[in-house]
Amino acid sequence: MSEHFGETSDPLRGRAPTSHERESGEPWDASYRDGPAPWELGEPQPAIVRLASRGVFAGTVLDAGCGSGDNALHLASLGATVIGVDVAATALASARSKARARGLSAEFVALDAFELARLGRSFATVLDCGLFHTFDANERSRYVASVGSVTEAGGTLYVLCFGDDGSDIGPHPVREDELRMSFGPSTGWTIVTIERERILTRFHGERGVSAWLATIVRR
């Protein structure tokens, strides 16, 4: 790891709250303190399991906004080298505990998604499951640039986010054109596909809610 993560360094010191945190009045960590967060299933998202079954997670994988690690640990169980990052200390502690209990090798780091370059690493594959849709329009450009700073040329970013298709939508629905605009030609990315998917939560029944699964390549 880079020198930013020495014993005396706090990579989250001075971090400004995101729009979601300002609106809710609570930090992300609060979602994990009294039991599972609404988006925590105790297992990986089925859409991510299906995606992984295609064998697309090549090289070292970054899981941006990894939460308590279920998706990252699923990829690790398939043999991937995975680094998960999140700002929620409680979630990261849970992820590390799960990794130890399952005998899996995965690294979990406290880091702001807007500061991914501080990892001092580059990745062939990046997973964003449920992070992009939490950002408002002003934050998205910062996030896209941050992810771009750690994704290898030709590397792939997979974004699973709430969609706006149908009546069963999540709290932060994203329009397809918003995805295309955020990762437009001027950003250094190329959108390969945007597919309809579902995201499961603890409060939306067995079918979950409308989602997009975007495959995006770094130029």
Domain count, the chain: 1
Burial degree of 32 (CB within 10 A; 0-12, 13-18, 19+)? buried
Q: What domain range is 131 assigned to?
A: 39-218
In a domain, 67, yes or no: yes
pLDDT at residue 4 tops 80: no
What are the residues whose beta carbons fall under 8 Å from the beta carbon of 154, sequence distance 6 or more? 217, 218
CATH number at residue 104: 3.40.50.150
Give the mean pLDDT of the chain. Answer: 93
Residue 17 included in any domain: no
Sheet holding 107-110, edge to edge: 107-110, 81-86, 60-64, 123-129, 151-162, 209-218, 189-199
Q: Give domain status of residue 148, yes or no.
A: yes
Q: Average pLDDT in the 196-212 region?
A: 92
pLDDT tens digits, 73-94 = 999 999 999 999 999 999 999 9
Could you tell me the two tokens for 83? Answer: 């680094």
Residues, the chain, total? 219
Q: How many CB atoms lie within 10 A of CB 215?
A: 16
Residue 163 token pair: 């969609």
